[in-house]
Amino acid sequence: SQQGEEDPQALSIQEGENATMNCSYKTSINNLQWYRQNSGRGLVHLILIRSNEREKHSGRLRVTLDTSKKSSSLLITASRAADTASYFCATDSLRGGNQFYFGTGTSLTVIP
């Protein structure tokens, strides 16, 4: 079963604009990750944020985590057409065991 749920399900923006997508999850976690999936491809790891962190940056990516609300957001600044993809959040289980639960994904379209 899916642990996380992304919002919105689909997002369409102009190149150069910022894109924000959100993830909500159900149970307590050790860390949360964001992955990107281009059409017909496997998932690519973008960034990991641990439960004791509130914000993390990587290039044009900014991730926040609010464990009290069980939610995370991914911000992509100055978007490019190449950012067009589906974005998934993945959470682990506090029980451990390296099992990750993926959300339903946000489909991002960046219009050139």
Partner 1 sequence: EAGVVQSPRYKIIEKKQPVAFWCNPISGHNTLYWYLQNLGQGPELLIRYENEEAVDDSQLPKDRFSAERLKGVDSTLKIQPAELGDSAVYLCASSSWDSKDTQYFGPGTRLTVL
Per CB under 8 A, does 33 bind partner 1? yes
DSSP 13-78: EETTS-EEEEEE-SS--SEEEEEEE-TTS-EEEEEEEETT-SEEEETTEEEEEETTTTEEEEEE-S
Which is nearer to partner 1, 14 or 39 (by Cβ)? 39
Of these, 7, 20, 22, 48, which contacts partner 1 (CB under 8 A)? 48
Per CB under 8 A, does 25 bind partner 1? no
Phi and psi (nearest 5°) for 4?
-105, 165
- Identify whether the C-beta of residue 107 lies closer than 8 Å to the C-beta of residue 8: no
Per CB under 8 A, does 34 bind partner 1? no
Per CB under 8 A, does 26 bind partner 1? no
Answer whether the bond into residue 8 is a cis peptide, omega within 30°: yes
Per CB under 8 A, does 104 bind partner 1? yes
Which is nearer to partner 1, 15 or 101 (by Cβ)? 101
Q: Which residues bind partner 1 (CB under 8 A)?
A: 1-2, 4, 31, 33, 35, 40-45, 48, 88, 90, 92, 97-105
